[in-house]
Amino acid sequence: MAKTLRRYSSNRNRRTRLRKSIRKIPKGIIHVQASFNNTIVSVTDVSGRVVTSASAGACGFKGKRRGTPFAAQTTTENAIRTVVDQGMHRAVVLVKGVGRGRDAALRAIFRSGVRLHFLRDRTPLPHNGCRPPKKRRT
């Protein structure tokens, strides 16, 4: 975590005030993006500002192991641990993607002690897709 920055004052005897205060976040939004190669978890406050985020690659998993359910579980636990310490009690979960870590990330959220308001699937679905390539000539 970043160190708290102190405001410099001209008088040495004056008390210095902290510039950065620790925010209390009672409600938040947990975004889970589960692709085949990686799982990214971002936690935002209600207005959409990112409080913390974690990915399987940032948690130390390399190569094929980033897309595994265990990597997604570890990533989700790391992301949620910091906001639970800041006082998050309730959350909305938005899931995007069809990767293998999707269910493991949801299980880790359920076990974290955060009460869920609702769970929404935001996986993009093509309605008709791109135009297919032209037929091969023989």
Q: How far is CA 74 from the centre of its chain?
A: 12
pLDDT in tens, 88-120: 999 999 999 999 999 999 999 999 989 999 999
Q: Which residue has the tokens 């679905």?
A: 125
**Is residue 138 assigned to a domain?**
no
**Is residue 22 assigned to a domain?**
no
β 115-121/90-96 pair status: parallel
- Which of the residues in the chain have pLDDT under 50? none
User: What's residue 78's pLDDT?
Assistant: 94
**Is residue 69 assigned to a domain?**
yes
DSSP string covering 71-127, please?
A: HHHHHHHHHHHHHHHTT--EEEEEEE---TTHHHHHHHHHHTTPEEEEEEE-----S
Taking alpha carbons only, the member of 123, 102, 89, 96 closest to residue 56 is 102
Rounded to an integer, what distance in angstroms lies between the CA atom of residue 19 and that of residue 67? 39
Question: How many structural domains is the chain composed of?
Answer: 1
Find out whether 112 and 136 touch, Cβ atoms under 8 Å: no
User: What's residue 39's pLDDT?
Assistant: 95
User: What's residue 23's pLDDT?
Assistant: 76
Domain that holds residue 42: 27-121
**Is residue 16 assigned to a domain?**
no
- Enumerate the β-bridge partners of residue 52: 43
User: What's residue 20's pLDDT?
Assistant: 56
User: What's residue 17's pLDDT?
Assistant: 58
**Is residue 8 assigned to a domain?**
no
CATH number, residue 51: 3.30.420.80
